[in-house]
Amino acid sequence: MTFITKKALPRRTILRGIGSMVALPFLSAMAPAMTALAKTAAKPIPRLGFFYAPNGMFLPNFHPEGDGGKTYAMTPILKPLEAYRENMVVISGLSNSGLVSPNEGGGVHTRAHGGWLSGVLPKRTEGADIEAGKTVDQYAADILGQDTSLRSLQLTTDSNFTVGNCENGYSCTYQNSTSWSSPTTPLPHERDPRVVFQRLFGDGGSVEARMAQMKTDRSILDSLSDSINTLEKNLGHEDQVIVGEYLTAVREIERRIQRTEQNNASRPLPSTKQPDGVPETFEEHIDTLFEMLTLAYQADVTRVSVMQMARELSGRAYPDIGVPEGHHTVSHHQLNAHNIQQYTRINTHHVSLFSKFVDRLAKTQDGDGSLLEHSILLYGTGMGDGDHHTPYNLPVILVGGGRGTLEGGRHLKYPMHTPFMNLGLSLLDKVEVDVASISDSTGRLSDL
């Protein structure tokens, strides 16, 4: 651990214990010490996140009416984000037209998801010869991931080990992975909060040994107590508060995972073995993943992330919000009023869960601002209207300030079928990643 004298605390100060480590959030002590710059925040770190919801949306309840601008009315699906209207940009008119293949027949869900962040039509195969396209997040990770312990972080709420043919001759890989580091390299998404926790805070040793150590009642923070005490003695009051709140959040996540594991052990499912660290409810599961992603951003463990709210073709039911039917079933609404209502409830519920993550970022200090002010989050789906199964007029929400590069409070309406990859290039520009083109892109989005 680094001690503070007349020098600034290094930005990448890490507390180490036995089999564990905790990177620290940005502190005032990390600015140059004993100079006029001591109270001047360092240049904010860019962060970029992508959040995928399956089965499209009922577009009339998502896209605002009118021709765009600042006076648009919040639609039902957008309502959960109303408190962050001034931090949000809603976009209409974008399409991944290259994913439409008249000769392919079925497999529309797979194509919509597999090419969402690349604009590349996935190769139809059930075998190992999979091929799609490098995704926008991985272009960002090429640059933003050079200085972090995790190049990028991929999360999901569903199983990540489905294999074989998932839809009309397409490999399940295309539904398992939203993120591809190359046309033939899909990245695995992790659903178990315990494993994610290990990736964020584990330090050396075999995976088995670290997992066994962390399944004890002893918190990883206990092994860091000497380092924490030494650090806090050399910090000002404001930094002590920040460190205290951050470490409390780490400990609470660890306790939540331990409680989940204890519950799963005492109340096992009757026919299948439930993974240790996966909470019982969808809402608790996704909230735990969002909380860990917040810590990963705060401690600069990663700057790029992708999360699946659920996998494409998800048939999950949501009885707690009055939807006992499966998600995929009601997405085939056929303009039936009941199906539209249920479909919209699920769409809105997913956005409401995402809004809690947005709220958490807004309340987390990061240098001279908040994590939300320094991040850009893209929430969307790979299909437009789920009943039509086409990647046209995609639902797109951008939230965050992008370190002052993204003006919120707007609805931007582009000509129909403007390439979605134009948005990808525009987002990369805002995090200072220069890419000439991606798939069918024709340039950057004007006015963004």
The answer to whether position 405 is within a domain reads yes
Compute CA distances 96 → 77, 157, 240, whole Å. Answer: 22, 25, 48
Same domain, 174 and 58: yes
Same domain, 256 and 326: no
The answer to whether position 297 is within a domain reads no
Given this model, what pLDDT does residue 14 score? 62
Contact 139, 123 (CB under 8 A): no
What type of residue is 402? G
Residue pLDDT, tens place only, 415-443: 999 999 999 999 999 999 999 999 999 99
**Mean pLDDT within 283-298:** 93
Same domain, 18 and 75: no
The pLDDT confidence band at residue 129, using thresholds 50, 70 and 90, is very high
Nearest of 52, 327, 92 to residue 189 by alpha carbon: 52
The pLDDT confidence band at residue 328, using thresholds 50, 70 and 90, is very high
Residue pLDDT, tens place only, 210-231: 455 555 545 666 666 667 777 7
**Mean pLDDT within 375-391:** 96
Mean pLDDT of the chain: 85
Residue pLDDT, tens place only, 299-326: 888 999 999 999 999 999 999 999 999 9
Same domain, 19 and 88: no
Given this model, what pLDDT does residue 37 score? 40
**Mean pLDDT within 163-178:** 87
Same domain, 155 and 264: no
For the ranges 287-291, 305-309, 340-344, 357-361, the lowest mean pLDDT is seen at 287-291
**Mean pLDDT within 350-375:** 96
Domain limit, last residue, from 277, 294, 320: 277
The answer to whether residue 164 scores a pLDDT higher than 70 is no
Contact 296, 200 (CB under 8 A): yes
Q: How many residues does the chain have?
A: 448
Q: Which residue has the higher pLDDT, 122 or 149?
A: 122
The answer to whether residue 290 scores a pLDDT higher than 50 is yes
Residues with Cβ < 8 Å from 412, sequence gap 6 or more?
68, 89, 90, 91, 92, 445, 447, 448
Nearest of 385, 443, 383 to residue 414 by alpha carbon: 443
Same domain, 434 and 324: yes
Strand runs labelled E in 180-335: 180-182, 185-186, 304-308, 317-318, 323-326
Strand runs labelled E in 80-145: 88-95
**Mean pLDDT within 369-381:** 97
Same domain, 324 and 270: no
Number of domains in the chain: 2
Could you tell me the end-to-end alpha-carbon distance of the chain, in angstroms, rounded to an integer?
43
Nearest of 149, 156, 207 to residue 186 by alpha carbon: 156
Same domain, 177 and 218: no
The answer to whether position 282 is within a domain reads no
The answer to whether residue 240 scores a pLDDT higher than 90 is no
CATH code, domain with 93: 3.40.720
Same domain, 62 and 98: yes
Question: Of the ranges 21-25, 92-96, 164-168, 242-246, which is most confident?
Answer: 92-96
The answer to whether position 298 is within a domain reads no
Q: What secondary structure does DSSP assign to 337-357, as a single string? A: HHHHHHHHHHHHHHHHHHHHH
The answer to whether position 271 is within a domain reads yes
Contact 254, 197 (CB under 8 A): yes
**Percentage of the chain exceeding pLDDT 70:** 78
**pTM for this one?**
0.83
Same domain, 63 and 132: yes
What domain range includes position 436?
46-191+304-448
The answer to whether position 406 is within a domain reads yes
Residue pLDDT, tens place only, 142-152: 999 998 888 99
Same domain, 37 and 52: no
Contact 53, 309 (CB under 8 A): yes
Query: Cα–Cα distance between 225 and 210 in angstroms, integer?
Result: 19
